[in-house]
Chains A and B, each alone.
Chain A
Amino acid sequence: ETGVTQSPTHLIKTRGQQVTLRCSSQSGHNTVSWYQQALGQGPQFIFQYYREEENGRGNFPPRFSGLQFPNYSSELNVNALELDDSALYLCASSLPGQGASGYGYTFGSGTRLTVV
């Protein structure tokens, strides 16, 4: 059983640029959530994808967008990067319905994005 894989592990971008982060979900998991963990903070929910559609969003602007593919893998895209976007981006996969009790999330190791 494979876990959640994220790529790249580290990335440096310039303010104003665009970035795409990738996530392969755990085998059998069809729901993917993205979280942003800024330095000294806990992970903050960005959005969730289920059946290739966005299924809920946190308090993040529209320049944060995503995709989910038929194989359940997902991308997080951030346009017009700002310095405050520097953070660890975590992807978590799960099965629908598991999240209500908080069980069943498998997190990837994250992508460390630095915006300069």
Chain B
Amino acid sequence: DQQVKQNSPSLSVQEGRISILNCDYTNSMFDYFLWYKKYPAEGPTFLISISSIKDKNEDGRFTVFLNKSAKHLSLHIVPSQPGDSAVYFCAAPRTAMNYGGATNKLIFGTGTLLAVQP
């Protein structure tokens, strides 16, 4: 059950142009969405997030848009730089109650490899 989906395995853009990475989800109960960036041989690092009560969040060159009716979010990078080349994961946190209390976990999409060409 893939609750978070990234249908584009890769994306190539020219330096200075806009990069748009897409993510779809099936679970309308998600309260937050996050984007993580991962370089080779490094762990994922948090990039930007958005609450489900908002439709846009901006942080410098990075903007995330949320369309709840379409269950779709996108990450815009403007302008794209060669250092942005990495795998980008869309993720959503889920909380499950169990015998030990609450367990928080992240549900990740499959990732999109962004290549920014100089």
Contact = CB atoms under 8 A, between A and B. Distances in A.
A101 B100 contact: no
- Chain B contact residues: over half helix, strand or loop, or mixed? strand
A110 interface: yes
Interface in B27-55: 31-34, 41-46, 49
Contacts of B61: none
A4 B32 CA distance: 24
B73 interface: no
A108 B43 contact: yes
Interface string A41-78: 11111001010011110100000000000000000000
Contacts of B104: 48, 94, 98-100
B43 A45 contact: no
Contact of A42 (B32, B103, B108): B108
Interface of A: 4, 9, 33, 35, 40-45, 48, 50, 53-56, 58, 90, 92, 94, 98-103, 105-110
Top 3 A-B residue pairs of the complex, sorted by shortest distance between their CB atoms? A56-B103, A99-B104, A107-B43
5 contacts: A33-B105, A90-B43, A100-B31, A107-B44, A108-B43
Interface of B: 4, 6, 9, 31-34, 41-46, 49, 89, 91-93, 95-96, 98, 100-111
